[in-house]
Amino acid sequence: MSAASLNVLIKPLDEGRSEDEPLEGLLPFELPTAETGIMSPALPKTMLLGALRDARLRLLEPLTITFEHEDNNIVAYCEELEEFGFGTHLTEAIADLQAAIGELYFTLKEENDRLASNLRRLWDNLCQKIKEIP
């Protein structure tokens, strides 16, 4: 990578600006898009989710998550559980998805005796992937 290319990716501190103040504009993981040349956060296509944020639940196997941009948000989607989360950045979208999966688990558990066949299949799938911690 040439020095000129690095200057595009690394924004120097403005004169009089403290290193403790956050820089506006570029984040360390931002890359220019091929179509526009405009800097935008690098977004993985998929990742494995290995934990939920709910201390009452433990994943027995990782869940595959896909990501997409939608307007100014990021959508994290878990196809195998038919659940998604939104956020203005990747971490927020993942946290929202983790919370949604926890809510789904406890809602289906509570309504277990009244589930229709499609929700029964989803509950069975959840039970194969998630263990409740007593």
Token code pair at residue 122: 């989803």
Average pLDDT over residues 39-54: 84
Average pLDDT over residues 84-96: 94
User: What is the per-residue pLDDT for 124?
Assistant: 95
Which one-letter DSSP state was computed for residue 17?
Answer: -
Q: Where are the domains of the chain?
A: 1-42, 43-134
Q: Which of 110, 67, 64 is nearest to 75 (CA)?
A: 67
Which residues, at least 6 apart from 100, have a Cβ–Cβ distance to it below 8 Å? 83, 84, 85
Q: Is the pTM of this model over 0.75?
A: no
Phi and psi (nearest 5°) for 22? -70, 145
What distance in Å separates the CA atoms of residue 114 and residue 65, rounded to the nearest whole number? 29
Structure-token match 């504009």, residue found: 25
What distance in Å separates the CA atoms of residue 16 and residue 35, rounded to the nearest whole number? 35
Q: If you average pLDDT over every residue of the chain, what do you get?
A: 80
